[in-house]
Amino acid sequence: MKGRIFTPVLSFIGISILFHGCHSSVDSTTESSKKEVVLCKTNAKKTDIKSLKNDPNEEIIKQLDLPRTITYIGIKEPENIAKYKSNQVMPLGMVLVPGGKVKIGDNNGFANESPQFWAVVEPFLMDISPVTVKQFRKFINATRYKTEADKFGNAGVINEETGKEWILVNGANWEYPLGKHRPKAQDNHPVTQVSWNDANAYAEWAGKRLPCEIEFEHAARNATNSRSIYPWGDNIKMTGKWNANVWQGKFPIKNFNEDFYPYTSPVGQFGKTSLGLTDMSGNIWEWTSNKKFDYASLFTRNLSPFSLSNEYAQRGGSFLCEPDWCHGYRVSGRSSSTSETSLFHLGFRCVKDI
């Protein structure tokens, strides 16, 4: 079997730990690791928007393989756009994400979220919730598909004693996210320990596809170009209660567990957004269809090795996120891993074209 490149991200210290093959030969000195350090630790270098082209770099666009719902990308706000209407009959478990224009990114967020740029998105259908363990089991039973974690015999779990590094736990998979010696994943929780390749196999079976980052952010902004930090507003707490499954306290030292979920929570446990979606913030990171790319590079003609990565982008933040560490559950938050990485805080949901 070929070796695996395994790349979980611990954003605050910015080290992407790479495991080559099934066991840990740690290499934190690669170019991609250095990039993470720059992105997350300094958070200082902002791009001068005047130096950027309005039209995106075609080479990057080609490699991002964006869906046809994305009809405009540019630094300049687009002119008035057509009002999209749809009489689509909603498939069970999905909502219509209306089309519109949306400003992607946050110039006040991490450096990898700037510069903000505009996109026009046509309507599409989106799963209300991340794919659950129950739904994924149906796929496995129907197809006898073997996930990459099962092929490699292990998957990524954070070292709970130190909280500082990812370890490959033998036997950890979608059914036993923490390993065989720990409780089985519950049916109504989001499936985890699925690689990008696994997520795509499920989507294909379901007649759907993964959302690209722009679609995910547009949906998280409720298709209204809301500038709120979270899908519901600017406060993580609503009427004194946590509004998402995240980390409370100082990561990784202490989780006060005020939301009652130290790991995943049942999908929908923390309510719906105004668009009718659940878990867009917290619980698990979600795979997107596109590779991780640098927003500034998108609008330049001179590409660097950091412009486009072989890793795939993730959105939405997880139960491990806390503001001082990565604050990944903001609508503009981003993460990424290689297509064969499986982690216990990473799942996916699907979208469908109209």
CB of 75 to Ca ion, least distance (A): 28
In the complex, least distance from residue 351 CB atom to Ca ion, rounded to whole angstroms: 15
β-bridge mates for residue 285, sequence order: 346
The Cα 104–Cα 75 span in angstroms is: 10
- CA of 215: how far to CAs of 18, 124, 259, in Å? 29, 9, 28
Identity of the residue, 36 or 259, whose beta carbon is nearer to Ca ion in the bound complex: 259
Contacts of 278 (CB under 8 A, 6+ apart): 128, 129, 267, 268, 269, 270, 271, 272
Minimal distance in Å, beta carbon 44 to Ca ion?
A: 27
Residue nearest to Ca ion (CB): 316
- Which of residues 208 and 345 has its CB atom nearest to Ca ion in the complex? 345
Structure tokens at 132: 């659950």
Shortest CB 336 distance to Ca ion, Å: 14
Task: Please report, as ranges, the residues that interact with Ca ion according to CB under 5 A.
Answer: 245, 259, 261, 283, 316, 319
Q: Is the alpha carbon torsion for 208, 294, 196, 164 positive or negative?
A: negative
Q: Say if strands 351-352 and 124-127 run parallel, antiparallel, or are unpaired.
A: antiparallel
Minimum Å distance from CB 255 to Ca ion? Answer: 7
**Structural contact between residues 141 and 240, judged by C-beta atoms closer than 8 angstroms:** no
Question: How many other C-beta atoms are found inside a 10 Å radius of the C-beta of residue 24?
Answer: 16
Q: Which is nearer to Ca ion, 99 or 177 (CB)?
A: 177
Q: How far is the CB of 244 from Ca ion (least distance, A)?
A: 8
CA distance 162 to 182: 18
Tell me which residue of 260, 265, 346, 275 sits closest to 9, measured CA to CA: 346
CB nearer to Ca ion: pick between 283 and 290: 283
Given the complex with Ca ion, which of 10 and 120 has the nearer CB atom?
Answer: 10
Instruction: Kindly tell me which of 205 and 242 has the beta carbon lying closer to Ca ion.
Output: 242
User: Which tokens belong to 283?
Assistant: 């619980």
The 8-class DSSP code of residue 233 comes to B
